[in-house]
Structure 1
Amino acid sequence: MATFKKQPRSKFYELLQAQIRNEFHASQQYIALAVWFDNEDLPQLAKHFYRQSLEERNHALAMVKYMTDTDHHVEIPAVGEVRNDFSEARELVALALKQEKEVASDIEEIAKAAREEGDYTGEQFIQWFLKEQVEEIASMSTLLTVVDRADGDLFQVEQFLHRENVGDEDDPTMPPVAGGAL
């Protein structure tokens, strides 16, 4: 029977463990948004948020893999409540943008902790997530602008998503994901 070597936890690893929960929560929230759009017969918006959910799941599992690769114990956390009640599409996209900005702030704190602790490999690992959050915020901000400009005509938003393939790009520089990326 193999024994698991438990490394002492630094602030960086404590924050990274907490971020795993945040990423899984974001994944669940994006599923709720996708389902709402599915129920409204908006397939492009639904597809976009289902894809966002998988991306957040992959982010969480990349953090899991990094922690296990560095001999740190990982706990898979429960996630908090997910919002399901919305009255119009703008609310959903605004929530997604707010969520991405919160994640960016969290990632910046993790990067700061790694730097303060002189954890060069941790700092290098988290750099990808800093770059990713710039892209996520820009993408969600653009989507919110498109929703606002469409002024209630969600068919225009659907056409935009179909035409522009927002967020479809796979990033080959993404850190490896525990169990493989989906």
Structure 2
Amino acid sequence: MSVPKKLPRTKFAQLLQTQVRNEFTAAQQYVAVAVWFDNRDLPRLAAHFYRQALEERNHAMMMIQYLMDQNMPVAVPGVDEVRNDFDNAEELIALALQQERDVADEIDTLMAAARADHDYSGETFVQWFVSEQVEEIAQMSTLLNVVRRSNGNLFDVENFLARERVGDQSVSPTAPRAAGGIL
């Protein structure tokens, strides 16, 4: 017999469920970006964004695991439409940077809601994502700067990614558990 799930009564729990959708949508957007690069025979840029897509998927699964651990109902959402048409690489990286800034704002809203709800376990859970967003914004800012300096020569960007460890770090040992495990 399964245990009945509590309804997400707190603002934090409701926002976290919404964030699951946001993370899955971000993952799909990164797949679209990766495919754009892959179609142009830019394997390092494509691989970078395929990894980013997996990371966003893993973030959604971490949130799902947290909701399950808190005995909250979980609805696996669909995703919003993603953009597939781009004119150049700078446009894609600028979109990725804006996406990370938007996610940082969403995470800040989650943190504020956890505090307002006096949900200390929720606040502790979200803290990891706050730090993660600092990394993500820095990474995309660096990549955008490199793309701009390349003056359209994406092979220079490919060489940069081959030489530097931008977003190539392993999963943090302090990362929350993900439902089904980290991919």
TM surpasses 0.5: yes
3-state SS of paired residue (2:112): helix
State how far apart, in whole Å, the 1-side matches of 2:153 and 2:163 are.
Answer: 16
Alignment-derived partner of residue 110 in structure 1: 110
Alignment-derived partner of residue 174 in structure 2: 173
Q: TM-score when scaled to structure 2?
A: 0.97
Alignment-derived partner of residue 62 in structure 2: 62
Structural RMSD (CA): 0.8
State how far apart, in whole Å, the 1-side matches of 2:113 and 2:47 are.
Answer: 35
Q: Which runs of 4+ in 1 moved over 4 A?
A: none
State how far apart, in whole Å, the 2-side matches of 1:91 and 1:51 are.
Answer: 19
Q: TM-score when scaled to structure 1?
A: 0.98
Q: Match of 1:179, as an amino acid?
A: G
3-state SS of paired residue (1:18): helix
Equivalences for residues 37-116 of structure 1 within 5 A: 37-116=37-116
State how far apart, in whole Å, the 2-side matches of 1:157 and 1:88 are.
Answer: 13
State how far apart, in whole Å, the 1-side matches of 2:92 and 2:82 are.
Answer: 12
State how far apart, in whole Å, the 2-side matches of 1:172 and 1:150 are.
Answer: 35
Q: Structure 2 vs 1, CA of residues 8 and 39 (structure 1 numbering), >3 Å: closer, same or farther?
A: closer
State how far apart, in whole Å, the 1-side matches of 2:160 and 2:5 are.
Answer: 50
Question: What is the aligned length?
Answer: 182
Q: Match of 2:11, as an amino acid?
A: K
Alignment-derived partner of residue 120 in structure 2: 120
Cα deviation code 1:1-54 (max 9, x no counterpart):
424322442000011000000000000000000000000100000000000000
State how far apart, in whole Å, the 2-side matches of 1:4 and 1:160 are.
Answer: 52
Q: Kindly indicate whether residue 163 of structure 2 is the aligned counterpart of residue 160 of structure 1.
A: no
Q: Structure 2 vs 1, CA of residues 8 and 58 (structure 1 numbering), >3 Å: closer, same or farther?
A: closer
Q: Structure 2 vs 1, CA of residues 146 and 116 (structure 1 numbering), >3 Å: closer, same or farther?
A: same
8 Å Cα contact 2:8/2:73 also seen in 1: no
State how far apart, in whole Å, the 2-side matches of 1:135 and 1:35 are.
Answer: 23
Q: Match of 1:114, as an amino acid?
A: A
State how far apart, in whole Å, the 2-side matches of 1:4 and 1:174 are.
Answer: 28
Cα deviation code 1:99-122 (max 9, x no counterpart):
000000000000001011111000
Per mean C-alpha deviation after superposition, the further-off stretch among 1-10 and 120-129 is 1-10
Q: Structure 2 vs 1, CA of residues 165 and 8 (structure 1 numbering), >3 Å: closer, same or farther?
A: closer
- % same residue: 62
Alignment-derived partner of residue 27 in structure 2: 27
8 Å Cα contact 2:37/2:43 also seen in 1: yes
State how far apart, in whole Å, the 2-side matches of 1:34 and 1:7 are.
Answer: 37
Structure 2 unaligned spans of 5+? none
State how far apart, in whole Å, the 1-side matches of 2:150 and 2:27 are.
Answer: 26
State how far apart, in whole Å, the 2-side matches of 1:113 and 1:178 are.
Answer: 23
8 Å Cα contact 2:23/2:56 also seen in 1: yes
Shift of 1:150: 0.5
